[in-house]
Amino acid sequence: MWIVSILIDELEARKKDYIVVADVINTMAEATNSAPDEVVKYLNAHDVDEHLTTFYMGDDYNFYQYNGFLVNVGNDANTTYFRISDVLAFEPITKHGIFKDGGNDNLNPYQNNLEDDYLTIDEVKTNLNSRTGVLYNYDKIRDLARKKKITPCFYFSGYVCRLIKDGLGELIPSLMENPYTEIMTGYFTYRLLVEQIIGNEDYITLPTYELGNEVLIYRLLEKQGNTNIGYGEGLALFESKPYAFNEYQNNRNKFSCIGIDEIRFSKRELDSYIDSMQATSDNHSIERVNLDESTRLKQVESLKAKNDELNARLGKASNIYRQNQREIKELKEKNEQADSEKAELIEQLNKAKAELADKPAELKPLQGIAKHNAGKAYIISTSKALASYIWSMDTEKAIRTGDMVQQVRHVMHKVAPELLPDDKAIREWLSSIAPDYAKKSGKPPKDAPSEISLIMKK
């Protein structure tokens, strides 16, 4: 008995997720005061087989997909099921407000035309703004209607006649049928009413038997008659009973105009949309919070691996930085030493020049060309001596002739700037003393150091 009890509990738990197809159809028929076969036609017109999967219960009490089609409320409808979540997401069903909050105990197919159940566009705007936390304007409300989240409709109580196609394929009232009219009270709509809910006109003209834009029942409150007119059928509306052979009088009696302020929206449909928004928001919050442990563990392991990799790269970068700092320090020391030696040479040259200026007049260089030639000889010999001395300290063999020309020019410009020729002449002076490695042609390699260390012998 204990095992049987467990099986029964499991079966009941599974069945809570499914609902018999016949229950859906009969509930809709009761709610809309329609015949069951009219509900089936209505659902088929909205491609119910493409949106709702039917299931059957196997011998193992599990539910399996059923490949049949929804055609009537026969044996199939009493033995097949819809998934409840699918039913609650299918707009042609939920728009009628049935199955709300898990049941339909409060349905009344003959409810009165209560303004509390149908809202103006301003009341819809107020509801959306206060309950969703999102700012809605009229354009956004129209977009909701275009997306079929809410449906604009209008109230009518009078004579209704279905539309049929004549020999030319145009729609006309079926006034030759018997019975051809029925008194109905309810809310009606048509496809292009969505585009007319915002406009500058005070009145809206209803479509005159337009194919694809027919007036349809939105929510039937009450009907009197036996024509079996149902949802999804195009309708002609009359304020008084039409005559079969009096087209002129029928046109006068036709219900053809509504005020812009008469457009209404179902509060149930609006509540359903707002609830779906809140449910989606709640589901997203739960999904963010309820990460399972395996996912969290994978995230932690991934972060640890990334952290280890970053630490390894940081350690390597730190070692390289310390090594570069040592090399930079050594290069700076060598550069300071070279600057000191260069300053010493400049001082010696200036001293020699001063001593030459102090010599007796008879020992001073001749004037004119003789002075120029003596100065030129002096600058050439000094430049060659300076270059030879610097090359002797170039233990790394890195100084090319072009580099030395610039060094010599830099020093000699301070000694005798008026005697310095161009770089080409200085290069010719140094060609006889330049070592072989300094005479290499071509550009220095890209990795050549920007600073050159010199080693001075004691």
pLDDT in tens, 40-62: 888 888 888 878 888 888 777 78
Secondary structure (3-state) at 134: coil
Residue pLDDT, tens place only, 432-441? 889 988 888 7
Is residue 214 a contact partner of residue 207, using CB atoms and an 8 Å limit? Answer: yes
CA–CA–CA angle 67, 70, 74 (5° rounding): 110
On the question of pLDDT at 264 being above 90, the answer is: yes
| CA–CA separation, 266 and 429 (whole Å) | 104
Residue pLDDT, tens place only, 175-213? 877 667 888 888 999 999 999 988 778 889 999 888 999
Q: Which residues contact 406 (CB under 8 A, 6 or more apart)?
A: 423
On the question of pLDDT at 30 being above 70, the answer is: yes
Residue pLDDT, tens place only, 407-442? 889 888 888 888 888 888 888 888 888 998 888 877
| CA–CA separation, 36 and 25 (whole Å) | 6
The reported pLDDT for the residue numbered 110 is 36
- The alpha helices in 359-400, defined as continuous H runs, are 369-393
On the question of pLDDT at 331 being above 70, the answer is: yes
The reported pLDDT for the residue numbered 451 is 75
- Beta-bridged to residue 164, according to DSSP, are 172
Query: Across residues 111-131, what is the average pLDDT?
Result: 79
Total number of residues shown for the chain? 458
Which of the four pLDDT bands, split at 50, 70 and 90, describes residue 362?
low
The mean of the pLDDT values for the chain is 80
What do you get for the CA distance between the two ends of the chain, in Å? Answer: 110
Which of the four pLDDT bands, split at 50, 70 and 90, describes residue 71?
low
The reported pLDDT for the residue numbered 5 is 58
Cα→Cα distances 354→224, 261, 347, 349, Å:
133, 110, 11, 9
